[in-house]
Structure 1
Amino acid sequence: MTSTKIQKTLSVLYIYGMSVKLLREYVDNELVYMSIGIDEEGYREILDFYIGASESSALWEEVLLNLKSRGLEEVLLGVMDSLSELKDAFLKVYPKADVQRCIVHRVRNTITKVRKKHLNEIIEDLKTIYNAPDTEYAKKALKEFCDKWGQIYPKITQSWWNE
């Protein structure tokens, strides 16, 4: 983990784990814990990364506590995947922050529950929502998505509507 000082407040903190193949004595899958910050002017910076064998809330909490010890006192929005342990660890360190589920993880989770014949159409409909130019357009696209797919995939549309 890094010890470089970082600024006190970030608008957004992305935290996620990415599985990569690493060669040591042999090739094995390991998890890279990544934290990327976006400041109030919109500049992005890789704040830290850490390699671990598997994703765990204890390791995430260690990563987040390291960020805090390096000077990151406040995060306005944390963006992460849907692991409840990750959200819990994040809110333990930054209790005032809002939390948003990462759109990539949301879409990946959705498409695993969709029939192959609907897959491309659903992906295009979801893109209309998350690539919307403004909030009003996104709300309209979300309503159209739920109206169109609600009968076939009620759990999926309810999940998107609730988040």
Structure 2
Amino acid sequence: MLDEIYLKRNWGSEYENVSILIAIAVNEDGYREVIGAREGMKEDKSSWTEFFKWLKGRGLDGVKLIVGDKCLGMLESVAEVFPEAEYQRCTVHFYRNIFSVVPRSKMELVAKMLKAIHAQESKTAAREKAKSVVEDLKAMKLKEAAKYIFWA
């Protein structure tokens, strides 16, 4: 799992926001561990590439799956530094993006629709369900939410 977080840092009497790229892996026993964090980077291609190369330099290898939000810099870097790895969109980020454009009154219904996509037993079935959900969202006048599903 890859992400960028922002923390406030106190230098004397001054506060500043600090960007940190973080990588969390699942170990052989199925537990999550932080495998790296770097301060002062951005979510652009050069920062992600530098971060990934730094992780590889520390011994990271055998990466099969990378999960993260869908920032373009990360996607480009994954393909370049870990060409053998598959990329998967983080479900939490996916839901947050959609809910950011859905009125509160419709969130429960939209959540059920999204869960129905993820409950499908095959990729083909999930894609068909997603197409159906997109049409339903458009009918509900939630075109922005429908765009996020296509973008995923």
TM-score (norm 1): 0.72
Question: Judging changes above 3 Å, is the alpha-carbon distance between structure 1 residues 17 and 162 closer, same or farther for their aligned structure 2 residues?
Answer: closer
Determine which of 26, 35, 40 is the counterpart of 1:47: 35
Q: Matches of 2:15 and 2:129 in 1, distance apart?
A: 44
The aligned amino acid for 2:8 is K
Question: Judging changes above 3 Å, is the alpha-carbon distance between structure 1 residues 135 and 162 closer, same or farther for their aligned structure 2 residues?
Answer: farther
Structure 1 runs of 4+ aligned residues shifted over 6 Å read none
In structure 2, the partner of 1:17 is 4
Determine which of 8, 11, 17 is the counterpart of 1:29: 17
Q: Matches of 2:145 and 2:39 in 1, distance apart?
A: 33
CA contact (8 A) 1:32 1:52 kept: yes
Task: Please show how residues 79-158 of structure 1 align to structure 2 within 5 Å.
Answer: 79-127=67-115, 129-130=117-118, 132=119, 135=121, 139=126, 142=130, 145-146=133-134, 148-151=136-139, 152-154=141-143, 156-157=145-146
Q: Matches of 2:116 and 2:16 in 1, distance apart?
A: 38
The DSSP-based 3-state class of the residue aligned with 2:88 is strand
Per-residue CA distance 1:27-59 (angstroms, 9 max, x = gap): 222112110111354232110111116433222
Question: Judging changes above 3 Å, is the alpha-carbon distance between structure 1 residues 55 and 158 closer, same or farther for their aligned structure 2 residues?
Answer: closer
The DSSP-based 3-state class of the residue aligned with 1:113 is coil
- More helix as a share of residues: 2
Alignment root-mean-square deviation, CA: 2.7
CA contact (8 A) 2:21 2:38 kept: yes
Q: Matches of 2:18 and 2:82 in 1, distance apart?
A: 27
The aligned amino acid for 1:17 is E
The DSSP-based 3-state class of the residue aligned with 1:75 is coil
Q: Percent identity?
A: 26
Q: Matches of 1:147 and 1:59 in 2, distance apart?
A: 38
Question: Judging changes above 3 Å, is the alpha-carbon distance between structure 1 residues 127 and 24 closer, same or farther for their aligned structure 2 residues?
Answer: farther
Deviation for aligned residue 1:155: 5.3
Deviation for aligned residue 1:157: 3.4
The aligned amino acid for 1:19 is Y
Q: Matches of 2:86 and 2:15 in 1, distance apart?
A: 38
In structure 1, the partner of 2:64 is 76
Deviation for aligned residue 1:121: 2.8
